[in-house]
């Protein structure tokens, strides 16, 4: 049984409201994870680019 007090959503009294709150919560978490991943990928690719450019400069 889900405790209604843990949900601060106004529609949490209804089952549909509970489902929506859970879904929106997981959706937000997933979005955050995706943002973090894309940020890390950007950071990594930038670092790789920097190292490549550094190597090119090193040859010159």
How much is the pTM?
A: 0.36
Specify the pLDDT at position 30. 78
**Whole-number Å distance between alpha carbons of 24 and 6:** 15
Helix (H, G, I), strand (E, B) or coil at 7: coil
Distances (CA, A) of 34 to 10, 12, 20, 27, 50: 28, 27, 21, 10, 24
Q: Which two tokens stand for residue 41?
A: 């990928």
Tell me the pLDDT band of 4, cut-offs 50, 70 and 90: low
Rounded to whole angstroms, the maximal C-alpha distance in the chain is 69
Q: CB 16: neighbour CB atoms within 10 A?
A: 10
User: Tens digit of pLDDT for each residue in 7-48?
Assistant: 555 555 666 666 776 677 777 887 888 788 888 777 776 666
The pLDDT of residue 60 is above 60: no
């Amino acid at each position: 049984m889900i405790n209604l007090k843990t949900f601060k959503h106004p529609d949490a009294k209804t089952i549909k409201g509970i489902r929506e709150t859970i879904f929106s919560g997981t959706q937000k978490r997933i979005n955050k994870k995706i943002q973090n991943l894309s940020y890390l990928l950007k950071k990594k690719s930038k670092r790789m680019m920097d190292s490549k450019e550094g190597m090119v400069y090193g040859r010159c």
